[in-house]
């Protein structure tokens, strides 16, 4: 069974104009849990001036009613963020390194090499603490500043991350430019240098290729797919980046293909309405509009 990591509370909300109250974020997370989500990227520990939507990360974690069997993930970019995440009591950390220097510069005023070194330190620290840690390689499929990204850059970051202690490697199509052939190439490359790591994929549907990419990743044998309730999301540092693949639409697709996810569509569908009310517009997910089939 392929697993789904629900990322709407973090990647979904971070690029929205409307800033949700802490209580609304907690409700979103708890609605996802009630629908069957068992891994949730709940918060990120980043500079509040750069990503105001995530300024209340500690308050969100403190206010959650932690459910048994659910892993609450905190995204971190550096040692400062990691220390905050540990203090807040996350179950996992997700460390992000861009594969392109242009994105590293725009996002963190740094380089891929420097951020890989930071990630190695954080991943080793997490391994020493026995805290599950993922490495997400952003702009794996293309960069809004540098253009095409050499797959060898992605594979090298993965190799170093796995050697430092990452238990999971995620390839991320941050700006939604990827196509299925790239999915296979990148997953094969990462597997060759990180044979023991879990494999995860993160797709945006900016150019309507996200679900095709998810199917190819599934057929390849990926362990986890990221998705966002309502199809919301994007990156504040990536021009024209739009939403993640929608959790509702992905679950419908996988269910119809005979791949159970453990998520309940009847419980998922109302989340889109909740998000639409909170954000002030109709969210992009299509299944809440069209309905399931058979009805």
Q: Which residues are catalytic?
A: 235
Q: Cα separation of 214 and 211, whole Å?
A: 5
CA angle centred on 278, ends 28 and 254, rounded to 5°: 50
Q: What are the contacts of 250-258 at 24+ separation with CB within 8 A? A: 250/4, 250/211, 250/214, 250/225, 251/4, 252/287, 252/292, 253/211, 253/214, 253/215, 254/2, 254/218, 257/215, 257/218
Tokens of 123: 């991943």
The answer to whether 64 and 77 are in contact (CB under 8 A) is: no
Q: Cα separation of 190 and 183, whole Å?
A: 11
């Amino acid at each position: 069974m392929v697993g789904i990591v629900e990322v709407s509370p973090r990647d979904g909300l971070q690029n929205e104009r409307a800033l949700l109250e802490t209580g609304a974020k907690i409700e979103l997370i708890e609605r996802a849990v009630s629908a069957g989500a068992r891994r949730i990227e709940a918060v990120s520990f980043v500079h509040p001036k750069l990503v105001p939507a995530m300024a209340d990360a500690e308050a969100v974690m403190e206010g959650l009613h932690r459910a048994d069997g659910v892993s609450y993930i905190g995204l971190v970019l550096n040692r400062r963020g990691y220390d905050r995440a540990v203090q807040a009591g996350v179950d996992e950390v997700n460390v992000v390194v861009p594969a392109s220097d242009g994105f590293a510069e725009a996002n963190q005023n740094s380089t891929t090499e420097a951020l890989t070194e930071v990630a190695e330190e954080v991943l080793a620290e997490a391994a020493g603490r026995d805290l599950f840690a993922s490495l997400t390689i952003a702009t794996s499929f293309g960069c809004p500043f540098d253009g095409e990204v050499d797959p060898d850059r992605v594979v090298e970051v993965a190799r170093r991350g796995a050697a430092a202690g990452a238990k999971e490697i995620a390839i991320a199509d941050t700006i939604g430019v990827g196509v299925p052939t790239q999915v296979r190439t990148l997953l094969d490359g990462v597997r060759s240098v990180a044979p023991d790591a879990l494999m995860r994929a993160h797709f945006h549907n900016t150019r309507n290729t996200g679900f095709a990419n998810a199917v190819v990743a599934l057929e390849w044998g990926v362990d986890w797919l990221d998705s966002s309730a309502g199809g919301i999301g994007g990156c504040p540092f990536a021009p024209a980046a739009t939403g993640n693949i929608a959790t509702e639409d992905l679950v419908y697709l996988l269910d119809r293909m005979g791949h159970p996810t453990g998520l309940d569509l009847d419980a998922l569908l109302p989340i889109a309405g909740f998000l639409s009310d909170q954000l002030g517009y109709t969210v992009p997910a299509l299944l809440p509009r069209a309905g399931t089939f058979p009805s």
